């Protein structure tokens, strides 16, 4: 990779701060020339402390790949099958609200084809985050939340992103093993890869290890907006960006759990992604399962991307013949995107301590890294 590429990435980081309202952003690049780390902006708007390498970051829905990898490791051990109906492990749990636990499989949960609704925008959750930011959600409450609205499709019919499927997957991990979700992620993923700065955030956590950036949300909902009216399509238009950013670092994230409860660093996240992208963590059969994708073009937020099991893969035709794989996650105060070629030779991990207003930043990073035009 040329120095020009690093310069392009640095320019994108600077623009994110200068023009897009991002307090601070970092990018870590690994390629044939070694490692490059770039920053722009600050970790904290009050102190002005700069962003730095080695920060502990809440990676949001990028944690879904850790959950999927754990399930796949259990499958490799012969302890469950992706074809198992949910009712095999959680009898009676899906016999409510029009769901059918005999037809929804473990695979459906992991690739978002089980027909569950978009749990992240459930009014109960949005109201809780706004009015009870320290609430500690239990597993039973999360599963109740996942099933609080009727199915939006038949099992296997279409891709519909849902944290709820991953709550159920986490519960299945615990039922199969008799241990906790965090313990199994540690056993099957974190320890084998030597991810010494990665952990599942405890449900009652109130902070992060040092160093870490302060997390912000952009302004707040526009006056008069009912949180119950939020949808995947309109939420960005409901934010009043003229209001000052709000510090949400102390937000309880127990509602993320198996759908997004992992804390890591750009270095650890890169090591994890390169391992799952290249086949360095899972046996061949489970590796193939992880990267068997569903959905049409742009089933996830980024153009030309399809969804596997907790992971995304870009259409190689749009990537100039390259197979580019990745994970991405967002939650209040944090945005993460990590990408790697399937040979592990070219990777990038970025983190912003606010949710970007648009996808321009990650798209431009992808274009600069892989020499493509995604427009």
- Predicted confidence band at 300 (pLDDT cuts at 50, 70, 90)? low
User: What's the half-sphere exposure (Cβ side, CA atoms, 13 Å) at 88?
Assistant: 16
Q: Which residues have CB under 8 Å from 191's CB, separation 6+?
A: none
Residue 352 has pLDDT above 80, yes or no: yes
Tokens at 315, concatenated: 């259409």
pLDDT value for 136: 94
pLDDT value for 220: 67
Instruction: Give residue-wise pLDDT tens across range 10-35.
Output: 999 999 999 999 999 999 999 987 89
Q: How far apart are CA 345 and CA 30, in angstroms?
A: 7
Which residues face 336 on adjacent strands? 329, 351
Q: What mean pLDDT do residues 140-146 have?
A: 96
Q: How far apart are CA 326 and CA 310, in angstroms?
A: 9
Range of lowest pLDDT (115-119, 123-127, 212-216, 328-332): 123-127
pLDDT value for 292: 97
pTM over 0.85, yes/no: yes
- Predicted confidence band at 128 (pLDDT cuts at 50, 70, 90)? confident
pLDDT value for 228: 66
Q: What mean pLDDT do residues 349-354 have?
A: 98
pLDDT > 90 fraction of the chain, expressed in percent and rounded: 80
Q: How far apart are CA 224 and CA 370, in angstroms?
A: 43
Q: How far apart are CA 81 and CA 36, in angstroms?
A: 40
Q: What mean pLDDT do residues 189-199 have?
A: 98
What φ, ψ does residue 275 adopt, rounded to 5°?
-65, -45
pLDDT value for 298: 45
CB neighbour class for 63 (10 Å; exposed up to 12, middle 13-18, buried from 19): buried
Q: What mean pLDDT do residues 267-278 have?
A: 98
Instruction: Give residue-wise pLDDT tens across range 35-78.
Output: 999 999 999 999 999 999 999 999 999 999 999 999 999 999 99
DSSP notation for 199-240: EEPPTT----PSS-PPPEE-SEEPTT--GGG--TTTGGGGEE
Give all domains of the chain, ordered by start, each with its CATH number. 3-370 (3.40.710.10)
Instruction: Give residue-wise pLDDT tens across range 68-120.
Output: 999 999 999 999 999 999 999 999 999 888 999 999 999 999 999 999 998 98
Q: What mean pLDDT do residues 132-157 have?
A: 94
**Could you tell me the CA-to-CA distances from 141 to 50, 99, 115, 135, 148 in Å, in that order?**
38, 17, 19, 11, 10
CA angle 312, 318, 323 (to 5 degrees): 50
Q: How far apart are CA 314 and CA 316, in angstroms?
A: 6
Q: Which residues have CB under 8 Å from 77's CB, separation 6+?
A: none
Q: How far apart are CA 109 and CA 309, in angstroms?
A: 9
CA angle 225, 301, 155 (to 5 degrees): 95
Tokens at 293, concatenated: 């994708």
């Amino acid at each position: 990779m040329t120095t020009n590429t690093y310069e392009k990435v640095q320019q994108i980081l600077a623009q994110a701060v200068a023009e897009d309202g991002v307090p601070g952003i970092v990018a870590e690049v690994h390629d044939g020339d070694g490692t490059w780390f770039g920053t722009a902006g600050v970790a904290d708007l009050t102190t002005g402390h700069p962003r730095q390498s080695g920060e502990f970051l809440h990676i949001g829905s990028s944690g879904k790949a850790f959950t999927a990898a754990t399930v796949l490791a259990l499958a490799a051990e012969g302890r469950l099958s992706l074809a198992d109906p949910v009712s095999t492990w959680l009898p009676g749990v899906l016999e409510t609200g029009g769901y059918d636990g005999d037809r929804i499989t473990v695979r459906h949960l992991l690739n978002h084809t089980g027909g569950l609704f978009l749990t992240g925008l459930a009014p109960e959750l949005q109201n809780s985050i706004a009015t009870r930011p320290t609430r500690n959600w239990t597993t039973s409450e999360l599963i109740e939340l996942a099933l609080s609205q009727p199915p939006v499709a038949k099992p296997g019919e279409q891709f519909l992103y849902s944290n709820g499927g991953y709550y159920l997957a986490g519960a299945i991990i615990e039922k199969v093993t008799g241990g906790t979700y965090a313990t199994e992620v540690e056993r099957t993923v974190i320890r084998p890869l030597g991810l010494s700065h990665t952990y599942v955030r405890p449900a009652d956590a109130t902070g992060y290890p040092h160093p870490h950036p302060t997390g912000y949300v952009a302004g707040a909902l526009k006056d008069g907006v009912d949180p119950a009216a939020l949808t995947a399509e309109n939420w960005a238009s409901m934010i009043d960006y003229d209001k000052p950013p709000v510090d949400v670092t102390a937000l309880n994230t127990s509602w993320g759990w198996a759908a997004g409860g992992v804390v890591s660093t750009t270095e650890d996240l890169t090591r994890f992604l390169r391992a799952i992208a290249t086949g360095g963590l899972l046996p061949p059969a489970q590796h193939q399962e992880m990267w068997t994708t569903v959905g049409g073009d742009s089933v996830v937020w980024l153009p030309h991307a399809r969804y596997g099991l907790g992971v995304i893969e870009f259409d190689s035709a749009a990537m100039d013949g390259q197979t580019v794989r990745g994970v991405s996650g967002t939650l209040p105060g944090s945005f993460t995107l990590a990408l790697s070629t399937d040979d592990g030779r070219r990777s990038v991990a970025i983190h912003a301590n606010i949710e970007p207003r648009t996808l321009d930043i990650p798209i431009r990073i992808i274009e600069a890294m892989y020499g493509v035009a995604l427009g």
